[in-house]
């Protein structure tokens, strides 16, 4: 079984989503072009760091919720997530593929390959790469950028071969990630959607649970 998740998975922990008004979606109040794009970073690295570091401190303060714990308690589930927080890891999930990168690492924006771990509760400000002098940046995927090749290849493989895909807390609007749902479906998997609202995944669902992940997943998966 694959669990393909999005921001709704972490919403009950207190992490805002992107497009959902009820959970203070970021993109309803902030401009992704300024905060989550290579052009935005080139224009104002300090602004981008200030925003990501606020998100890091927020995530350091919150805890995994019942949905993260229910997924983590099932070692047979492969987690493929668009989330850049570390809540599935902290819940103890065995396998987590992060399609949009992670907030826990900064990497060189140039080509030298330098990376460093970041303490989420006390993240460092914008700074230069100690190896090549380019800017360091959060190791996340921004609009207009390719997904990390290894994570994407692994995700595609898992989605082609799973029997069931649980789609949790995503609007399924951002590609190529959202395309994994159709990929699994076309390879014969049953699609189970968990979301309090209808989403772009609804049309592909074999079963749809209209509810919060923290309430539905423990019931569905046990725990
Ligand atoms: P969205 O904010 O687009 O969608 C969140 C979804 O979660 C919505 O469909 C909500 O109805 C649902 N939701 C809210 N609370 C929930 C709960 N308690 N339980 C279950 N579902 C709940 O977030 P994503 O689909 O994750 O990309 O967005 C995908 C990508 O767009 C993100 O990874 C990010 C963003 O721009 C990048 O930054 C590259």
Q: Does the CB atom of residue 147 touch ligand 1 within 6 A?
A: no
**What residue spans define the domains of the chain?**
2-221
Nearest to 170 by CA among 13, 12, 18: 18
The rounded distance, in Å, linking the Cα atoms of 184 and 187 is: 5
The rounded distance, in Å, linking the Cα atoms of 125 and 20 is: 29
Residue nearest to atom 18 of ligand 1 (CA): 212
Task: Output the pLDDT for position 141.
Answer: 97
pLDDT digits (tens, 9 = 90+) for 10-29: 999 999 999 888 877 888 88
* CA–centroid distance, residue 170 to ligand 1 (Å): 4
Please state whether 110 falls in left (phi above 0), alpha (psi between -120 and 50) or beta: beta
**Which atom number of ligand 1 is nearest to the Cα of residue 213?**
19
Q: Which residues of the chain carry a pLDDT beneath 70?
A: 223
**Which atom number of ligand 1 is nearest to the Cα of residue 142?**
39
Q: Which residues are catalytic?
A: 100
Domain 2-221, CATH class in plain words: alpha beta
Q: Does the CA dihedral 187-215-172-50 come out positive or negative?
A: negative
Q: How far is CA 116 from the centre of its chain?
A: 20
- Tell me phi and psi for residue 97, to 5 degrees: -105, 120
For residue 221, list its beta bridge partners.
Answer: none
Task: Output the pLDDT for position 223.
Answer: 59
Contact 166, 184 (CB under 8 A): no
The pTM of this model reads 0.97
pLDDT digits (tens, 9 = 90+) for 50-59: 999 999 999 9
Q: Does the CB atom of residue 213 touch ligand 1 within 6 A?
A: yes
* CA–centroid distance, residue 157 to ligand 1 (Å): 23
Task: Output the pLDDT for position 111.
Answer: 92
* CA–centroid distance, residue 11 to ligand 1 (Å): 9
DSSP category for residue 47: H
Task: Output the pLDDT for position 208.
Answer: 98
Contact 107, 136 (CB under 8 A): yes
């Amino acid at each position: 079984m694959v669990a393909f998740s999005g921001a709704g998975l972490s919403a009950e922990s207190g992490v805002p989503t992107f497009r959902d008004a009820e959970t203070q979606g970021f993109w309803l109040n902030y401009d992704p072009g300024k905060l989550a794009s290579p052009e935005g970073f080139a224009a104002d690295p300090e602004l981008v760091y200030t925003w990501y570091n606020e998100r890091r401190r927020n995530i350091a303060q919150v805890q995994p919720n019942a949905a993260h714990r229910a997924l983590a308690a099932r070692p047979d589930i492969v987690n493929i997530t668009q989330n850049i927080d570390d809540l599935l890891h902290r819940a103890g999930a065995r396998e987590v593929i992060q399609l949009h990168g992670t907030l826990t690492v900064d990497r060189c924006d140039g080509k030298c390959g330098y990376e460093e771990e970041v303490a989420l509760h006390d993240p460092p400000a914008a700074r230069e790469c100690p190896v090549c002098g380019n800017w360091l940046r959060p190791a996340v995927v921004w609009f207009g950028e390719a997904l990390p090749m290894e994570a994407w290849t692994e995700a595609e493989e898992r989605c082609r071969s799973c029997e069931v895909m649980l789609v949790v807390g995503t609007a399924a609007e951002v590609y190529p990630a959202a395309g994994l749902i159709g990929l699994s479906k076309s390879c014969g998997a049953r699609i189970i959607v968990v979301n309090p609202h209808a989403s772009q995944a609804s049309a592909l669902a074999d079963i749809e649970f209209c509810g919060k992940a923290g309430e539905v997943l423990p019931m569905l998966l046990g725990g």
